[in-house]
Amino acid sequence: MAITIKRKEGENISNYLYRVSSIIRRSGVLLSARKKQFYTSKIGKRQKKESALHRFRFLKEVNRRQKLGLPIDKKQIKGSLHLR
């Protein structure tokens, strides 16, 4: 939704900017743009399940390493999870 606002003849810049900002505010363009800026789509069932499974495997590996007294390196654990 494009809005074209032309400067009136002899209108000073401060009045023009005030008029433009009020027109934009009333039109709702700025409000809809702000809503769209942070929109996130819903996560599907499969993606939720995969995320939960990954989290479960990751925590299982962390607990195993803690029991064995091994260092917990997140990069190393993430790499080893993909091989299993």
pTM, full prediction: 0.46
In angstroms, the CA 19 to CA 38 distance is 28
pLDDT tens for 11-39 read 999 999 999 999 988 888 888 888 888 88
Compute CA distances 41 → 5, 38, 44, 45, 84, whole Å.
Answer: 34, 10, 9, 13, 30
pLDDT tens for 70-82 read 888 877 776 666 5
* 84 has pLDDT over 60: no
Q: Which residue has the higher pLDDT, 45 or 40?
A: 45
Amino acid identity of residue 42, one-letter, is K
pLDDT at residue 81 in the model: 61
